[in-house]
């Protein structure tokens, strides 16, 4: 696993743990709401790479932050994707010639 990815997951887990504690939720109550074990909650909060995106999305829902999942990779603000698309734009756009019924142009 690339180090930046591991760091990002560790930070996400720590942020989720902080958000849970700020809402005065125990790991046991979080696990119950997510229908997972407390051990899985602990793994999620440590940034374990084996936690499914579905479980993480449910945790965001329980924390009242589901809207943030939908904005993770907003294509309207995807600078890299937009740049790549712009590179592939044609230099000029020409009107297509229409063939006549006689076959002559």
| CATH code for the part of the protein at 3-87 | 1.10.260.40
For 35-88, write each residue's pLDDT tens digit: 999 999 999 999 999 999 999 999 999 999 999 998 888 888 888 888 888 888
- Chain centre distance of CA 42: 21
User: For the CA atoms of 60, 65, 67, 73, what is the dihedral angle to 10 degrees?
Assistant: -60
pLDDT of residue 5: 94
What is the DSSP code (8-state) at residue 65? -
For 5-39, write each residue's pLDDT tens digit: 999 999 999 999 999 999 999 999 999 999 999 99
Q: Is the pLDDT score of 102 beyond 80?
A: no
Residue extents of the structural domains in the chain: 3-87
User: What's the half-sphere exposure (Cβ side, CA atoms, 13 Å) at 77?
Assistant: 5
Place of tokens 């849970």: 20
Selection from 74, 48, 70 nearest residue 60 by Cα? 70
């Amino acid at each position: 696993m690339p180090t930046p990815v591991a760091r990002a997951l560790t930070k996400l887990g720590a942020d989720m743990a902080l958000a849970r504690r700020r809402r005065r939720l125990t790991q046991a109550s979080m696990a119950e709401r997510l229908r997972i074990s407390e051990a899985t909650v602990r793994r999620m909060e440590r940034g374990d790479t084996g936690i499914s995106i579905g479980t993480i999305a449910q945790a965001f829902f329980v924390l009242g932050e589901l809207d943030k999942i939908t904005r993770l990779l907003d294509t309207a603000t995807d600078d890299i994707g937009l740049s790549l698309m712009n590179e592939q734009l044609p230099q000029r756009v020409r009107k297509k010639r229409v063939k006549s019924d006689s076959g002559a142009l």
